[in-house]
Amino acid sequence: QVQLVESGGGSVQGGGSLRLSCAASGFISGRRYCMGWFHQAPGKEREWVALLGSDGTTSYTDSVNGRFTISKDNAKNILYLQMNSLKPEDTVMYYCVALWGICSRNPAEFDYWGQGTQVSVSS
């Protein structure tokens, strides 16, 4: 059973940086997977932010491209999201996600979700 535990959220001023971490357990070596980050604002649906395939391929939604970087420490099984040049509109709950197979931008495709970590950016 895959388990995901996020950390690293918090409050920061606009233009600042935060790094989110997601400690993952239960992954099977050699099996294809996708990990990533989604976010959700109050009253809105969950939307994808950044994805990382087991082949190292990354993708970013347009609003964060060039500001956020997704990476993974395979030795420690920790997924990261480095967030730079943060804006007030980045104030949402962020979720670490995982699925077996190829990456998808559809939240319904992801079988595993962390509990979420809140990011708040002040202007």
Cα 106–chain centre separation:
14
Among 87, 38, 30, residue whose Cα is nearest residue 60:
38
Q: 53-72 pLDDT, tens per residue?
A: 999 999 999 999 999 999 99
- The pLDDT of residue 1 is 85
> What mean pLDDT comes out for the span 13-28?
93
- The pLDDT of residue 30 is 79
Q: For residue 62, which amino acid is it?
A: D
- The pLDDT of residue 28 is 73
Q: Whole-angstrom Cα distance, residue 25 to residue 46?
A: 23
User: Cβ contacts of residue 112 below 8 Å, gap of 6+?
Assistant: 2, 3, 4, 97, 98, 99
Q: For residue 92, which amino acid is it?
A: V
Q: 96-110 pLDDT, tens per residue?
A: 999 999 999 999 999
CA-based torsion, 100, 70, 75, 17: positive or negative? negative
Q: 73-123 pLDDT, tens per residue?
A: 999 999 999 999 999 999 999 999 999 999 999 999 999 999 999 999 999
